Chain A
């Protein structure tokens, strides 16, 4: 897979482990421009989102026009140029979950935390998102809190769970 190319002098701190990961991935993909989406996934996994300077770096290293990189990032809903929050709450709004009351879950989150889907709290500690379908339809309504999938979720339990997560952070 290696093309023997060395990476150009970077605008990103090369001793940052996330940058190292990114460099390894880019090299593994052979610096190919069509590996852009794979590389963006890797970057977002490491950084939690896609900061502008990381995109600039990728654009330079892959020799892709900035507009192409930006156009691709903004097309796919998976990618975000904004931090999604320290704790994330993803409510599935696929058909099965919708029929089972996903909207009520979103409403109760808005009531308690004043956050609509796609928003992050002012202090960056909680981000709320909605997904179109996470494929857990047999357990509708489903919610993912910090990468844990919860099934047949009831609004009160969800609010309690999120509150305890935020409070736990405070205690530290």
Chain B
């Protein structure tokens, strides 16, 4: 009846080993042999070893969601592509981050970002200091080969200190996650589905009327583009410090 079936004792040994319990593994990334911990993601291991993997929705200190699909990598033994930010390393994993296929797809993703909303760098507060712009340079984007969707997007200036310009939003949801996980205010969330999604405050009410926002400004720092910006700066002079959020999260977990 139970031919070929492992006795339960062995199972317990196999699967109570919790991912969070650290143990060393050897992985190969782009031909380089690296020793890492099992609680690390491929992205973390790569970063710690000087291997650059493109990201957008990733921000250290908040949960990774694997949404932008820029950090896709190939794993030997599987035809699928995996997001490096959400996939943990395992012993003998062989990772490729820079194949022609991956580079081609990253380029397409970037072009789709630009075509989806209304990104006009020349008049943007983040011109010259924008992660989306940098991405464009990194992938060598020279033209956007897809027709722009030109959606009707609002600019919400109702808040005393900040502005939310949906024309420049790429729906990375870093603002949503920062507000939920770091500040705990839950002012931002996403509404609708598909290409109709928009970042909203409370009941899709003006940000200035929010009953949850604490005006902490973390979302502005987390936002990679000029979608969220501070009223105190002018065009082309915004510089953001998302690393402040990473440091804040680290400090909170320390007992000083």
Give complex CA distance A70, B202 in Å: 7
On whether A71 and B212 interact (CB within 8 A), knowing A52-B203, A56-B203, A65-B186, the answer reads no
Min CB distance A75 to B, Å, is 6
On whether A67 and B186 interact (CB within 8 A), knowing A52-B203, A55-B203, the answer reads yes
A residues neighboring B (CB under 8 Å): 52, 55-56, 65-71, 74-75
Tell me whether B200 is interfacial, beta carbon within 8 Å: yes
Contact residues on B (Cβ < 8 Å of other chain), bracket: 10 to 19
On whether A71 and B211 interact (CB within 8 A), knowing A52-B203, A65-B186, the answer reads no
B residues neighboring A (CB under 8 Å): 185-193, 200-204, 211-212
Give complex CA distance A55, B202 in Å: 11
- CB pair A67–B193 under 8 Å, yes or no, is no
- CB pair A75–B192 under 8 Å, yes or no, is yes
- CB pair B191–A74 under 8 Å, yes or no, is yes
Min CB distance B171 to A, Å, is 13
Min CB distance B244 to A, Å, is 23
- CB pair A75–B193 under 8 Å, yes or no, is yes
Subset of 14 A-B contacts with CB under 8 Å? A52-B203, A55-B203, A65-B186, A65-B189, A65-B202, A67-B200, A67-B202, A70-B189, A70-B203, A71-B189, A71-B191, A71-B200, A74-B192, A75-B193
Extra contacts besides A65-B212, A67-B212 (12): CB < 8 Å: A55-B203, A56-B203, A65-B187, A66-B203, A66-B212, A67-B187, A67-B200, A68-B189, A69-B203, A70-B189, A70-B204, A71-B191
Interface residue SS majority, chain A: helix
CB contact between A66 and one of B192, B193, B211 (< 8 Å): that residue: B211
Question: In the complex, which residues of chain A have a beta carbon less than 8 angstroms from the beta carbon of B193?
Answer: 75
Number of interchain pairs (Cβ within 8 Å): 41
Interface centre among B187, B193, B200, B202 (most CB of A within 10 A): B202
Min CB distance A82 to B, Å, is 13
Question: In the complex, which residues of chain B have a beta carbon less than 8 angstroms from the beta carbon of A68?
Answer: 186, 189
Question: In the complex, which residues of chain A have a beta carbon less than 8 angstroms from the beta carbon of B186?
Answer: 65, 67-68
Min CB distance B24 to A, Å, is 38
Give complex CA distance A99, B212 in Å: 49
Give complex CA distance A80, B222 in Å: 32
Interface centre among A67, A71, A74, A75 (most CB of B within 10 A): A67
Give complex CA distance A69, B185 in Å: 14
Give complex CA distance A55, B188 in Å: 17
The residue of chain B having its C-beta at the shortest distance from the C-beta of A68 within the complex is: B189
Min CB distance B28 to A, Å, is 40
Question: In the complex, which residues of chain B have a beta carbon less than 8 angstroms from the beta carbon of A56?
Answer: 203
Question: In the complex, which residues of chain B have a beta carbon less than 8 angstroms from the beta carbon of A70?
Answer: 189, 191, 200, 202-204
Give complex CA distance A65, B211 in Å: 9
CB contact between B202 and one of A66, A74, A75 (< 8 Å): that residue: A66
Question: In the complex, which residues of chain A have a beta carbon less than 8 angstroms from the beta carbon of B204?
Answer: 70, 74
Question: In the complex, which residues of chain B have a beta carbon less than 8 angstroms from the beta carbon of A74?
Answer: 191-192, 204
Give complex CA distance A67, B202 in Å: 4
Give complex CA distance A158, B212 in Å: 48
Interface centre among A52, A55, A66, A68 (most CB of B within 10 A): A66
Give complex CA distance A67, B186 in Å: 7
Interface centre among B185, B186, B204, B212 (most CB of A within 10 A): B204
Give complex CA distance A69, B191 in Å: 10
On whether A67 and B192 interact (CB within 8 A), knowing A52-B203, A55-B203, A56-B203, the answer reads no
Min CB distance A132 to B, Å, is 13
Give complex CA distance A66, B189 in Å: 9
* 9 closest A-B pairs by CB: A65-B186, A67-B189, A71-B189, A74-B191, A66-B202, A70-B203, A66-B203, A74-B192, A71-B190
The residue of chain B having its C-beta at the shortest distance from the C-beta of A67 within the complex is: B189
Question: In the complex, which residues of chain B have a beta carbon less than 8 angstroms from the beta carbon of A55?
Answer: 203
Give complex CA distance A56, B202 in Å: 10
Min CB distance A120 to B, Å, is 19
The residue of chain A having its C-beta at the shortest distance from the C-beta of B201 within the complex is: A67
